[in-house]
Amino acid sequence: MWRFLIRRIVFGIVVLWLVATTVFLLFFAGPADNVARRLAGPRAPIEVVEQIKDTLGLDRPLFTQYLGFLGDLLRGDLGTSFISQTPVSTLILQSLPGTLWLVFGAAVLWMIMGVGGGVLSATKPRSLRDRTLTVLVLAGISLPTFVLGILMIYLALSVFPGTGLQPGPYISPFVDVGAFLSTMVMPWVCLAVVQAAVYVRLTRGSMLDTMGEDYIRTARAKGVPERGVVYRHGLRAALTPVITQFGVDVGTLLGGVVVTESVFGLQGIGQLMIRSVRDGDLPVIIGAAILAAAFIVIANILVDVTYSFLDPRVRLA
């Protein structure tokens, strides 16, 4: 177990290093003047370009710059935003709560909808219930997140204005619970609906496979009630691929729920990233990208550890 964990952590660090290196090369490789011009934007005056070249030391050899970049990264220094002149880590910390609340709230919703729908579908395959769910899933998968988001806002603001739901920036629940809920409910539902569609499909497929296994027949034969067969024996084993997907999804989304945050104007990592790309605010883009990679790496390690608890057949070596 420990050996496995250490190996995975080392592998994770290698992945992060590769991501950092790729991002660095993507932005800094090339002649200093070109790099500075790209960072400054096409319309910036030549003085600004020169200044950027000086402050970032773009004249130095690429490898020296790379070492400096890695050194800063190891010290946890992500640099300073070109636009707001605030440290990138501060900007990220400010944006993180919005994303965290959005992801965890939506995750609860989509797991309930997705796994619940999948089990309902799989326990009576080819029934009317199953078919209805399949059609809903198809609609959910075909529906782009941003279209669903815009439609929700349209409905909440113009068609049913009495609900009190509204899009808007993130408000901490510790400051104003009412305002927090009125801005978060729509993003939660929007993100959850799109995700749930995938989870219904996944749970249904996995559940159908599991319910055909010999040990399910054994459980039925020894007189376990159907409820117990479905939930204790069937669902537990069927959840393994669902948990993988869940870990990967949460890890990915924590790095920025780009579309949902943008549609609802919720300030989170995704919104921060989009804004930085529009403004050409390079340090923020790099910082957010590395943060996103870190979340994914951590989520993947957690998923593998969770496996061994869920499925007794998996032993970590």
Residues 6+ apart with CB under 8 A from 296: 248, 251, 252, 255
Residue 89 lies near another protein (rule: CB under 8 A): no
Alpha-carbon span 174 to 172, nearest angstrom: 5
Instruction: Check binding of 260 to another protein (CB under 8 A).
Output: no
252 binds another protein (CB under 8 A): yes
Q: Is 144 in the site for another protein (CB under 8 A)?
A: yes
In the list 81, 145, 195, 267, the residue contacting another protein (rule: CB under 8 A) is 145
Determine, following the binding rule CB under 8 A, whether residue 154 of this chain makes contact with another protein: yes
Tokens 């055909």: give the residue: 212
Query: Nearest approach, Cβ of 126 to another protein (angstroms)?
Result: 12
Give the number of other CB atoms < 10 A from CB of residue 110.
Answer: 24
CB of 133 to another protein, least distance (A): 14
Question: Residue 10 interacts with another protein (CB under 8 A)?
Answer: no
CB 166, CB 183: distance < 8 Å:
yes
For another protein, give the closer residue by CB, 48 or 143: 143
Q: Fill in the amino acid letter for 151.
A: L
Using CB under 8 A as the binding rule, whether residue 300 contacts another protein is answered as: yes
Choose between 30 and 228: whose C-beta lies nearer to another protein: 30
DSSP annotation of 231:
I
> Per the structure block, which two tokens stand in for 70?
């890695």
23-82 positions binding another protein, by CB under 8 A: 23, 26-27
Closest CA to 203 of 113, 93, 310: 113
Residue 142 sits in the site that holds another protein (CB under 8 A) = yes
**Position 187 contacts another protein (CB under 8 A):** no
Q: Is 20 in the site for another protein (CB under 8 A)?
A: no
Shortest Å distance, C-beta 101 to another protein:
20
Rounded Cα distance between 209 and 221, Å, is: 19
Residue 141 in the binding site for another protein (CB under 8 A): yes
Instruction: Identify the CA nearest to 121 among candidates 131, 136, 106.
Output: 131
The first and second tokens of residue 101, run together, are 């609340």
Q: Copy the structure tokens of residue 137.
A: 């899933």
Question: In Å, what is the CA distance from 221 to each residue of 162, 234, 306, 312?
Answer: 55, 14, 30, 22
- By CB under 8 A, the residues from 194 to 233 that bind another protein are none
Please answer whether residues 190 and 263 qualify as being in contact, where contact means their C-beta atoms are separated by less than 8 angstroms. Answer: yes
Q: Answer for the pair 125, 208: CB distance below 8 angstroms, yes or no.
A: yes
Residue 161 within binding range of another protein, rule CB under 8 A = no
Q: What is the DSSP letter of 192?
A: H
Per CB under 8 A, does 158 bind another protein? yes
Q: Which of 44, 198, 274, 310 binds another protein (CB under 8 A)?
A: 274
Which region, judged by CB under 8 A, interacts with another protein, from 65-73, 183-191, 216-224, 269-277? 269-277
Q: Which residues bind another protein (CB under 8 A)?
A: 15, 23, 26-27, 138-139, 141-147, 150-151, 154, 157-158, 248, 252, 255-256, 258-259, 262, 273-274, 276-278, 280, 282, 285, 289, 292, 296, 300
